[in-house]
Amino acid sequence: MGKLGKTAAVTTATKPLWTARAAAKAGKTAPAWSAKAVRVLGGEDAVDVLTRQHRQIKIGFLRAALPGPPRRRNFDRLMRLLAVHEAAEEAHVHPVARRALEHGRELAARRRQEEKEAKELLVALWRTGPEGRGYLRLLNQARRAVTGHAAREEREEFAALREAVSATRLRMLGAEVKLTQAYAPTRPHRWVNNEATNKLAAPLLGPLDRARDAVRHRMAR
């Protein structure tokens, strides 16, 4: 066998080992507080949490399109769910996928690009609001972008995470997702679209958005 053939054989033989090592590393990098958080927040794993939220988001888009007085409330709920959902994915889930999965870097990059494009639509939708001109058109554009992205996540990323990452680590990741969503920003911000910016934005924009939400809620009474 020539030198090139030997190299290819070694690469093929060791690729599963490298992937296994990456998965093991991802499973060992959970913060020390994660185990306690799992006990406090429940044992639901990250894939279950995010898949359930994908279903809620689909329903949320339908409700936000309905006419009448509830439209504003349904719109606000949808935007809040989308904001905290994406914050947790970008801050925690995609980084684990990048480290643990074969071709994880490319996979995570595609998901981030999709999220960035969807966030542009969501920012425009937020600025238009449910009473604005072109609201239903923008809402439908955002719905197609978000639901298409969610379907690819479930098919390409979530299924692979179940294979590559231990059940314990996924439960810890589920706790991290829930904790992040408890204080994440509640509206879309164009520049908050990766791991670093989400972790920086949470303690700054999260309280600010929630204070604005409380003021709006009081004024709407």
| Helical segments of the chain, H only | 3-28, 34-41, 46-65, 70-88, 94-100, 104-128, 135-152, 159-164, 167-183, 195-220
Domain range annotation of the chain: 31-220
Dihedral sign for Cα atoms in the order 162, 168, 169, 175? positive
Q: What is the pLDDT of residue 42?
A: 58
pLDDT of 88 reads: 95
Q: Which amino acid is at 167?
A: A
Mean pLDDT of 200-217: 86
Give per-residue pLDDT as tens, 115-157. Answer: 999 999 999 999 999 999 999 999 999 999 999 999 999 999 9
What is the 8-class DSSP label of residue 93?
I
User: pLDDT-based confidence at 33, cuts 50/70/90?
Assistant: low
Mean pLDDT: which of 174-183, 198-207, 209-218 is highest? 174-183
Distance from C-alpha of 45 to C-alpha of 27, rounded to nearest angstrom: 13
For 46-78, the pLDDT digits (tens) are 999 999 999 999 999 999 999 999 999 999 999
Domain 31-220 is of which CATH architecture?
Up-down Bundle (1.20)
Give the pTM. Answer: 0.78
